[in-house]
């Protein structure tokens, strides 16, 4: 289980929210606990904790990369996290326009469709 004092745990909770992190922690087992530690330390404690770019910018980059790879579940999770990172629907749309040009129109089109559904679930007007 992650140390609540660890910088990665703090950033993870700030971006994804306590409810999401608590749910993931509850579902962790001896089998995948090392993976949870890895992403908490590596992704959240190193990359996301860096102050070289804002959480908003990092969120947009992450969404573009996930959309480009077709990682729907992770894309939806990080889209919900924009409520905490400050990335607006307009920011997300612009990131997906880049995906269309640099990774392919079908990937961007699919991500836009998914974004519309997630935003509707969030009650976000777009």
pLDDT tens string 33-81: 999 999 999 999 999 999 999 999 999 999 999 999 999 999 999 999 9
What confidence score (pLDDT) does residue 43 get?
96
Measured N-to-C along each axis, helices 55-69 and 7-16 cross at an angle, to the nearest 10 degrees, of 80
* Per-range mean pLDDT, top range of 2-16, 24-38, 69-83: 69-83
> What CATH code is assigned to 55-122?
1.20.1290.10
Q: Domain boundaries in the chain?
A: 7-47, 55-122
DSSP three-state, residue 6: coil
The lowest-confidence range among 21-35, 46-60, 79-93, 96-110 is 21-35
Buried residues in 24-51 as b, exposed as e (16+ CB within 10 A) = beeebeeeeeeebbebbbeebbeebbee
Q: What is the pTM of this model?
A: 0.92
**Residue 96 in contact with residue 68, Cβ under 8 Å?**
no
């Amino acid at each position: 289980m992650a140390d609540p004092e660890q910088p990665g745990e703090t950033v993870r909770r700030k971006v994804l929210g306590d409810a999401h992190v608590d749910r993931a922690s509850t579902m962790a087992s001896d089998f995948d606990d090392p993976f949870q530690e890895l992403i908490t330390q590596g992704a959240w404690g190193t990359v996301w904790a860096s102050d070289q770019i804002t959480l908003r910018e990092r969120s947009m980059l992450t969404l573009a990369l996930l959309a480009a790879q077709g990682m729907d579940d992770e894309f939806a999770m990080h889209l919900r996290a924009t409520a905490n990172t400050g990335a607006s629907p307009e920011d997300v749309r612009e990131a997906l326009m880049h995906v269309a040009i640099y990774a392919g129109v079908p990937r961007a089109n699919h991500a836009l469709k998914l974004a519309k559904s997630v935003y509707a679930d969030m009650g976000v007007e777009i």
